[in-house]
Structure 1
Amino acid sequence: MDTVTQTVELPAKRQNRRHPLEWKRSVVEQTFESGASVARVARDNNINANQVWAWRKLYAQGLLVEDAQVQPMLPVVVDVQPDRPAGDALEATDVSPPSVATSGSIQLQHGNTSVRIEGVPDATILRLVLERILR
């Protein structure tokens, strides 16, 4: 009986590469240049185009930053009531509580969670609700 010995090399197990954030941002920014295409930028950088699209999505959401810089963001809808003119809306930097109760509402949406607060919320309760939502 004849025996044939053959050496077979198996492909190396694919490892997830961890690219530096600065490089990811650089790749994404290349796709914004005039005449650039995601496919070409991906090919030039030896990565999959789907990965570049994922990084573009993170970039657009402001999430392609160092972990220490990530700030949780919630979409906020400001509802100005008809009895209060738009010019009378409180500035975002005004942290002092209003002297009189005003009408209005705050609606927060994060994932599957939606919270609507009517009137003037208590600051402590609002902080607790936001902390719970952002977990």
Structure 2
Amino acid sequence: MDQRPQRGPRGPYRRHTIEFKRAVVEQSLQPGASVSRLARQHDINANQIFAWRKAYHEGRLDAAAFVPIVLTDTDGLDATERLDPPAVAFGRLTIERKGARLTVEGRPDAQVLAQVLAVLLR
């Protein structure tokens, strides 16, 4: 007999911290660990754990994967003066805010990126 509490109709997606995801993945990687048992224990889908394991192996569950961005008063400077030249020709920038995720890959135009950031971080 299932003794877990019954959940109501499907609501908004649950958000888990990177620390929680990493802890569950590390538990799943222990010898003899059962992904399905861990999923039941944490009331999540086993496929979610496998997705987190993939992200873990790709280095996307590092504590420093997402860092806050703080904009300071930059009135009087144009976008090219505010941004340092990139150290490499290719990169990836991911910003999460208010449930939205913006990923910029490559080498974006500095003025366009400044405008997008200004709107996103209001």
* TM-score (structure 1 length as normaliser): 0.44
* TM-score (structure 2 length as normaliser): 0.48
